[in-house]
Amino acid sequence: NAGVTQTPKFRILKIGQSMTLQCTQDMNHNYMYWYRQDPGMGLKLIYYSVGAGITDKGEVPNGYNVSRSTTEDFPLRLELAAPSQTSVYFCASSPDKSYTFGSGTRLTVV
């Protein structure tokens, strides 16, 4: 099993550009999450989903959007990239209380 797959691994964006971070899991987990990790800080929850068609905001949702049209996919959309969105992004999935994380996407906005 591949687990949780994130693409791309690295990306440089210019201010104002948009992009989608992809996340796919093949474990049939209901719960999926997007986190960002900034230097010296704990991971912060951006958005989460409890199942296909259901999403909700986390602690730091501003500047991001998500969708969950299938159980497997949970893409994160940045519409107008800003330098404050420079971070490492992690997707995770969970069947209930255990978590599987992706390998991360390092995003730099210049």
Q: What whole-number distance in Å separates Cα of residue 103 and Cα of residue 8?
A: 10
* Selected binder of another protein within 78, 85, 87, 102 (CB under 8 A): 102
Question: Distance (Å, rounded) from C-alpha 26 to C-alpha 42?
Answer: 27
Is 2 a binder of another protein (CB under 8 A)? no
Distance of alpha carbon 98 from the chain centroid: 18
- Judged by CB under 8 A, which of 90, 108, 109, 110 binds another protein? 90
Q: Is 31 a residue that touches another protein (CB under 8 A)?
A: yes
- Retrieve residue 49's tokens: 């989903």
The encoded tokens of residue 29 equal 């987990």
Residues 6 or more apart whose Cβ sits within 8 Å of residue 103: 6, 9
Name the nearest CA neighbour of 35 among 74, 79, 83.
74
Under rule CB under 8 A, residue 96 binds another protein:
yes
Using CB under 8 A, which of 20, 65, 86, 100 touches another protein?
Answer: 100
Stretch that binds another protein, among 18-26, 62-70, 74-82, 94-102 (CB under 8 A): 94-102
* Count of residues that bind another protein according to CB under 8 A: 24
Is position 27 an interface residue for another protein (rule: CB under 8 A)?
A: no
Which spans of this chain sit near another protein (rule: CB under 8 A)?
31, 33, 35, 40-45, 48, 50, 56, 90, 92, 94, 96-104
